[in-house]
Amino acid sequence: MADPHGYIDRHFARFQEELFEFLRIPSVSARREHDPDTRRAAGWLADRLRELGLAVSIEETRGHPIVVGEWREAGPGAPTVLVYGHYDVQPPEPLELWTTPPFEPAVRDGRIYARGSVDDKGQLYLHVKALEAHLRTTGRIPVNLLFLAEGEEEVGSANLMPFVESDADRLACDAIVISDTSMFGPDVPTIGASLRGLAYFQIDVQGPAHDLHSGTYGGAVANPATALARILASFHDEEGRIQIPDFYDDVNPAPEFVRQIRTLDFDEREFLEETGAPALVGEAGYTALERLWVRPTCEVNGLLSGYTGEGSKTVLPARAMAKVSCRLVPDQRPERIRVLFEQHVHRVAPKGVTVQVHYLHGGLPWRARLGGPLYEAAERALERAFGRRPVYAGEGGSIPIVPEFERVLGAPVLLMGFGLPGANAHAPDEWFDVENFRKGTHAAAA
């Protein structure tokens, strides 16, 4: 009877029911009206951890609370593992695009559809259930375990970092495990090998003091929208290479990782279909996966100027605005990119306008320090759960807390995610594969 894996399979229906309870709580961290729900989700999770006999505290912050659960019965000689996840979710809008309501979990085709199913309640909860399987069968696990769940991941984790700093002693650990990412493909167990960093800017271009008649003034007064277009067009050459001087200086070519990427069986056509774009493009000389995982980007996220309604209005706009973000790869640093970006924009800015660059926020890129007992254990666990060895995949997005965890706590981070490509995290009809919920629980238990 002392078989945690048998326990998981026997109790899996109940695990799923419990997850549904968790998913029904609309813990939308971005919306003030959901503050009671977000707090309720924290309480619900704390209760589940307490039921397993963990010492649980709910740490108040200036925003949503942090839930900390501790099981230290492996003793001071045993390693300590910190499992991090988040109980808050993205806003569900636009609601009309959901097949079933976002906070009424529904199973279709082997998928659990609900806001937060894959990001990140399902992935967080499978660790709780893996612990339960051990404690209810063998009564113990070989490591000390710390659960750290926050309620502000979707709004920038502003209060987590100071907490990690202030409670670093209590959070001291030998490894950090995070299930908040995707698998490379169905049935392909995946370890996250890298994350891109971020530097986010807003460019404001001011021309005349107020909108002008484009006939009466056009030709003699600089147009801020044209000026902005010229600035944005200067960021890349015709082959997609970023033209900001020194931008690539700190890009670590990571030949080992690139070699490994090239062995992955990537279906460009499927990826293209997922995007709905007419063709894949990008920096010359790199494959799509390299462009996504080991090359930095400079992307326009938003544009606004002048008249944007129906029909025509002959206005020479007073202002033009762009949001631009750079995804960074090791060993680029947002502070350095900020300087290079601002210098470049001011250098290429046309005459006759005033240009301001605002740095909104940033985060460090990260690359896993592969090898060692943590990764060896993860490889074994994933192989046992999925029947094949995991692959190492990069991630084009950013999780700024990951490099900070490593910096403050000094322990390596393992990204072991069970989402699938196209799982609609942050989008309508978010789903989590039921089988992956089960296999992930097994992997976490292994």
Tokens representing residue 230 in the block:
């010229």
Task: State in angstroms the smallest separation of the CB of 141 from its own copies.
Answer: 34
3-class secondary structure, 377: helix
**CB within 8 A of 168, min separation 6: which ones?**
408, 409
406-404-330 Cα angle (round to 5): 85
Exactly one of 37, 70, 88, 119 is catalytic; which is it?
A: 88
| Closer by beta carbon to its own copies, 56 or else 415 | 415
Please state, in angstroms and rounded to a whole number, the distance separating the CA atoms of residues 411 and 275.
Answer: 36
Measured torsion, CA atoms of residues 58, 60, 64, 70, in degrees rounded to the nearest 10: -30
Q: Is the distance from CB of 89 to CB of 116 less than 8 angstroms?
A: yes
Instruction: Kindly tell me which of 27 and 223 has the beta carbon lying closer to its own copies.
Output: 223
Which runs of consecutive H residues, i.e. helices, occur in 390-445?
A: 401-409, 434-445
Tell the smallest beta-carbon distance from residue 270 to its own copies (Å).
Answer: 13
Contact 108, 117 (CB under 8 A): no
Looking at beta carbons only, is 327 or 438 nearer to its own copies?
327
Between 76 and 278, CB nearer to its own copies: 278
Alpha-helix residue ranges (DSSP H) falling in 334-392: 334-348, 372-386
Min dist CB 217 to its own copies, Å, is: 6
CB of residue 263 to its own copies, shortest distance in Å: 18
CB of 324 to its own copies, least distance (A): 9
Rounded Cα–Cα distance for residues 237 and 445 (Å): 49
Nearer to its own copies, 5 or 230 (CB): 230
The one catalytic residue among 70, 120, 152, 153: 153
As a residue count, the chain comes to 446
Pairing status of strand 80-86 against strand 175-178: parallel
Q: For its own copies, which is the closer residue by CB, 246 or 299? A: 299
Q: Which is nearer to its own copies, 127 or 344 (CB)?
A: 344
**The residue to which tokens 């992930």 are assigned:** 440
Q: Is 342 a known active-site residue?
A: no
- According to DSSP, the β-strands at 197-206 and 354-363 are antiparallel
Rounded Cα distance, 117 and 111, in Å: 9
- Which segments within 122-218 are labelled E, that is strand? 144-150, 175-178, 190-195, 197-206, 212-213
Asked about 88 being catalytic, the answer comes back as: yes
- In the numeric block, the tokens 């909860």 are attached to 125
Residue in 108, 175, 121 with CA at minimum distance from that of residue 149: 121
User: Which CB, 4 or 419, lies closer to its own copies?
Assistant: 419
Q: Give the strands of the sheet with 111-113, arranged side by side.
A: 106-108, 111-113, 431-433
CB of 182 to its own copies, least distance (A): 9
Residues 386 and 191: beta-carbon distance below 8 Å: no
Q: Smallest gap, in angstroms, from Cβ of residue 312 to its own copies?
A: 5
Catalytic positions, written as ranges: 88, 153
